[in-house]
Amino acid sequence: MIDLQTGDFLGKDIGSFIIPSERVAHVQIGNNLEHALLVLTRTGYTAIPVLDPTYKFHGLISSPLILDAIMGLERIEFEKLEHLVVEDVMNSNAPTLTMADPLEKGLKLLINHPFICTVDEEGYFEGILTRRVVLKQMNALVHQLKLKEMD
């Protein structure tokens, strides 16, 4: 949890803040866009990680990327959904973190992203650090500090 004695919240590594990979919706690089759009729609997320069959992280796929790929000049070309694969349209430049990275590094990345994927040294997907989890922890810290002040 948060060490109130030293006040070292930002220096903590992100390992204790991530949502583990088993609980994160994802698609594989070879899945077609129809499958990816179905997963995105069913989960309610706007973006999810893209993994290979060995669970190495390759990027993110999002609803806007899929819609951009099927947008024609005069209509949305839905028939492209089953022929294009995730690898063709994913964002392969998504930032990542490791479990040992300090929370401060994660906070800087979360300014522009709702979540950041965490990977090990070999690129295997370990989970995600979300704004929600960080904000919940910061909120708890603020309340604990307020209570401590009142004593």
| Spatial distance between the Cα atoms of 24 and 117, rounded to a whole number of angstroms | 10
Q: What superfamily in CATH does domain 14-150 come from? A: CBS-domain (3.10.580.10)
Q: What is the pLDDT of residue 48?
A: 98
What's the Rg (C-alpha) of the chain? 18
List, for residues 76-100, the tens digit of each pLDDT value: 999 999 999 999 999 999 999 999 9
How far, in Å, CA of 139 to CA of 143, rounded? 6
Q: Report the sign of the C-alpha dihedral through residues 87, 35, 117, 119, in that order.
A: negative
Give this prediction's pTM. 0.84
How far, in Å, CA of 126 to CA of 118, rounded? 5
Using 50, 70 and 90 to split pLDDT, how confident is the model at 50? very high
Q: Give the model confidence (pLDDT) of 113-151 as tens digits.
A: 999 999 999 999 999 999 999 988 888 878 787 777 676
Q: Determine the straight-line distance between the first and last CA of the chain, rounded to whole angstroms.
A: 21
pLDDT score, position 51: 98
3-class state of residue 8 by DSSP: coil
The residue count of the chain comes to: 151
Cα separation, 47 vs 56, whole angstroms: 17
pLDDT at 142: 81
DSSP symbols for 73-103: SSSB-GGGGGTSBHHHH-BTT--EE-TTSBH
Q: How many Cβ atoms from other residues are within 10 Å of residue 86's Cβ? A: 25
